[in-house]
Structure 1
Amino acid sequence: MKTMTYRGHTAKIIYSDEDECFVGHVINIGDDIISFHGDTDAELRVAFEDVVDLHIKVKNQPENPPQKHFAERFLSRLRQALHL
Structure 2
Amino acid sequence: MNAMHYKGYAARIEFDAEDEVFAGHIAGINDVIGFHADNVADLKAAFHEAVDDYLATCAELGKQPQKPYSGRVMFRIDPQVHANAARAAELSGKSLNEWAGEVLAKAASR
TM-score, normalized by length of structure 1?
Answer: 0.70
Q: 2:15 aligns to what?
A: 15
SS at match of 2:29: coil
Partner residue of 2:58? 59
Unaligned runs of 5+ in 2: 66-110
Counterpart AA for 1:64: G
Aligned mates of 1:55, 1:23 — CA distance in 2: 17
Greater share of strand residues, 1 or 2?
A: 1
Q: In the aligned structure 1, how far is the partner of 2:64 from the partner of 2:3?
A: 26
Give the TM-score, by structure 2 length. Answer: 0.55
The letter for the 2-side match of 1:50 is: E
Letter in 1 for 2:35: F
Q: Which runs of 5+ in 1 are unaligned?
A: 68-84
Matching residue of 1:36 = 35
Q: Distance in 2 between matches of 1:28 and 1:46?
A: 20
How far is the alpha carbon of 1:66 from its aligned partner? 3.5
Residue of structure 1 in register with 2:108 after alignment:
none
SS in structure 2 at match of 1:52: helix
Q: Quick one: which amino acid aligns to residue 6 of structure 2?
A: Y
How many residues are paired up? 65
In the TM superposition, residue 65 of structure 1 has moved relative to its aligned partner by: 2.9
Query: RMSD of the alignment, in Å?
Result: 1.5
Identity, % of aligned positions: 37
More helix by share: 2
Alignment match, 2:44: 45
